[in-house]
Chains A and B, each alone.
Chain A
Amino acid sequence: MDLMEAQQERMSKEKSETLERSDENTSSINSQMSPGDRIRMSSLNVYYGNSHVLKDLNLTIEDRKITVIMGPSGCGKSTLIRTLNRMNDTVHAFKLTGEIALDGINIYSKEVNPTLLKLRVGMVFQKPNPFPISIYDNVAFGPKIHKLSKNRAEMDEIVMQALKQAALWEEVKDRLKANALSLSGGQQQRLCIARALAVRPEILLLDEPASALDPGSTAKVQELMVELKKDLTLVLVTHNMQQAATVANKVAFLYNGSLVEVGQSPDIFENPQKKVTEDYISGRLT
């Protein structure tokens, strides 16, 4: 934790050189931000060509909470989470209207660099996608590119810290030079989490991170998420009800591209307000 804060501070000093453009951006600051919100989506619409994938979404993501987006497959949850760090930019015929504000800045505004955005908003994917290089190099990949360390010792520290945060350190500390592909699926996914954590994001997006894992690994990833929310803001996409119920602070239920219901965690499961939500939770809708 101290290390992380030190890092954070060092980087905020470094950044000062880079994008002191806040004045230009004030225009897009959403005055309705409540203090604890990190991300606010307002009238968000997403299209792929002619198909309307997300319809008029309004949702806020709170600081250091786990926000779970759930819904049946094809409802647009993956699209939603990928728009939060602009992973969809390169998708053919992708179009977005409305606004996604990160700390009051519209991340789709011209001033925001999509590459830098990803430093603040990290992402973990459905299938583990470690690079076919050593475990150490996987975690060090981001920090190396972004030159986050001055020397080897610092890099070792970053790698160790990230692996510890991802609860993988104990399992791999003796074989950091081994190829990442030699890890089990669950370990690979935690390695990907460590890789994402190593560049010190403030927000971590997890797109069904446990869908390809066995129950044991799933439980570990879940524990990890709860642990991580002490330091980070998490957004989780899942179709696993139990997982949602276990980790969520806030739940957004997405159906056919529309936000049907948003609620705090136990409430929405015990007392859903809408019929569709109830159907989904009770398993009548998949």
Chain B
Amino acid sequence: MGETTHSLSDKRYRSISDSVYKIVTLALCSMSFVFIIILLIVLFHASLASIVVNGLRFFTTTTWNPAINSKVISVDGFSAMWGANYGMLVFFVGTLGSSILALLVGVPVGVGIALFISEFGPKRLDGPITLLLQLMAGIPSVIFGFWGILILSPWIRKFFAPALGKYLFFIPIFSGQVYSSGFLSSGFILALMIIPIIASISRDAMAQTPVLLKEGGRALGLTDWEISRKIVIPYARQGIIGGSILGLGRALGETMAVALVCGGADFLPKTMFYPINTLSAFIVTSLDSAFTDPSGMYVAALGELALVLLAITMIVNISARLLVSKGFLSNPENVVQV
């Protein structure tokens, strides 16, 4: 086989092996596309029964009642339980609410850390702080949740929530009964989990600020904070927003930590002290009960929840990606604020 190593035919053999190699790697590389397609098809197929049977009620009602003890009936060709109602509003509100709270806490903290790394802090701390952020991002979600049960939730119940209630009682969302797990603990734990993302992407964007602009500001007699606020932050604005949206995407889909500290509510929260439930936390904790539904509708409804969650996170992540990589810093207009 290797006799005529220097013949023409060997060259042909070589180019064939190259094209085979190319095609095989191409196939493997397009798996990311294939996976997404499979994901969408399977999710859609699995939740079809719920989409058809539950219709708009799925998005507009707050009751999640599988009615597993009633009788199986047939609706539009799918089997369902008589008297069941699947409404995702409680979980949807919980997901959005806790993620927004996480952003409210996480963005200022993340940007503050980024400012400290890139502007204020001593250079020799940059590496260690960045490494700490990365290690923090690596801590498993379920461990954050365990810490939440042990430390954060009790702290909120005993100290933080009563303090809020004492000083902000005139605002309705800060009054009334305090539950140990819920809105506040979910939002805070999510904030902790997205701070590393926001901080590191903001830091990268801030590092792009031209030294010349910063020096121009310094030569005009701006303090360090004024340079940061008037020159660095406006310049890095797109990166900061992109990082925050990426953090939002993570918070929306975050499952285990929230499942442990959300309180597992099946009603809408009235105050910040209420227990909540989120799409992801509800899905992960409901598999056992879903199996008890003889019509299979419960499993399909969980699929529709997953589909909704996927849709939200996809929209969020795509917009973050467009902001962070494309057109990022390409537009100097409106970059510096006065």
Contacts and interface: CB of A to CB of B under 8 A. Distances in A.
Interface of A: 85, 87, 90, 92, 115-119, 122-125, 127, 129-133, 137, 140-142, 144-146, 179, 181, 192, 195-196, 199
B215 interface: yes
Given A87-B215, A125-B215, A129-B210, A116 B332 contact: no
Contact of A196 (B210, B219, B226, B332): B219
Contacts, number: 69
A132 B215 contact: no
B230 interface: yes
6 contacts: A116-B221, A125-B219, A130-B216, A145-B221, A146-B221, A195-B220
A159 to B, nearest CB: 12
Given A144-B338, A192-B216, 16 more contacts: A117-B221, A119-B221, A122-B219, A123-B219, A131-B213, A132-B333, A132-B336, A133-B334, A137-B338, A141-B220, A141-B230, A142-B220, A195-B216, A195-B220, A196-B219, A196-B220
A89 B336 CA distance: 24
Contacts of A192: 216
A85 B219 contact: yes
A142 B221 contact: yes
Given A92-B123, A145-B226, A140 B215 contact: no
B263 to A, nearest CB: 48
Given A131-B231, A145-B226, A115 B221 contact: yes
Interface of B: 123, 210, 212-213, 215-223, 226, 230-231, 332-338
Contacts of B334: 132-133
A131 B218 contact: no
B137 to A, nearest CB: 28
Given A132-B333, A179-B333, A115 B216 contact: no
A119 to B, nearest CB: 4
Q: Among B216, B218, B230, B336, which residue has the most Cβ atoms of chain A within 10 A?
A: B216
A115 B219 contact: no
Contacts of A132: 332-336
Nearest to A85: B219
A74 B207 CA distance: 27
Contact of B218 (A87, A137, A141): A87
Centre residue among B215, B220, B222, B334 by max chain A CB count within 10 A = B220
What are the 10 A-B residue pairs with the smallest beta carbon separation, nearest first?
A123-B219, A129-B212, A118-B221, A132-B332, A142-B220, A131-B336, A129-B216, A119-B221, A132-B335, A137-B338
Contacts of B333: 132, 179
Nearest to A120: B221
A207 to B, nearest CB: 10
A115 B223 contact: yes
A141 B219 CA distance: 12
A25 to B, nearest CB: 20
Given A92-B123, A115-B221, A131-B231, A141 B338 contact: yes
Contacts of B226: 145
B218 to A, nearest CB: 6
B216 A145 contact: no
A142 B216 CA distance: 10
A122 B215 CA distance: 11
Contacts of B218: 87, 90, 118
Contacts of B221: 115-119, 142, 145-146, 199
